[in-house]
């Protein structure tokens, strides 16, 4: 599914069980979309879908630079932060 959305804000992910920043996006999401790409108008990766913030009715996404950092940590064998944590955000 492709939808238009706007990034409203970058917030601290800690309250959501994620180390690092999260994007708040106004695009719709549903259970099972976690890990799906968030792309800009040119098809470049902006982030990965993470969940839904029910109080704000906004979608949460991990910014692409943060995902790249997690992948670097995994490759270096030092993953233990957000990449290894579960969240129950319902996406």
Q: Which pLDDT tens digit goes with each residue over 42-75?
A: 999 999 999 988 888 899 999 999 999 989 999 9
Distances (CA, A) of 73 to 26, 67, 87: 30, 10, 19
Full-model pTM: 0.76
Q: Classify residue 41 by burial, with Cβ atoms within 10 Å: 0-12, 13-18, 19+.
A: exposed
Q: Which pLDDT tens digit goes with each residue over 9-19?
A: 999 999 988 88
């Amino acid at each position: 599914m492709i939808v238009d959305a706007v990034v409203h804000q970058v917030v601290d992910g800690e309250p959501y069980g994620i180390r690092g920043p999260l994007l708040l996006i106004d695009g719709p999401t549903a259970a099972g979309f976690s890990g799906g790409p968030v792309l800009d108008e040119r098809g470049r990766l902006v982030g990965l879908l993470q969940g839904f913030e029910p109080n704000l009715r906004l979608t949460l996404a991990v910014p692409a630079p943060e995902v790249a950092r997690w992948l670097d940590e995994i490759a270096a064998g030092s993953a233990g932060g957000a990449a290894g944590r579960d969240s129950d955000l319902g996406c």
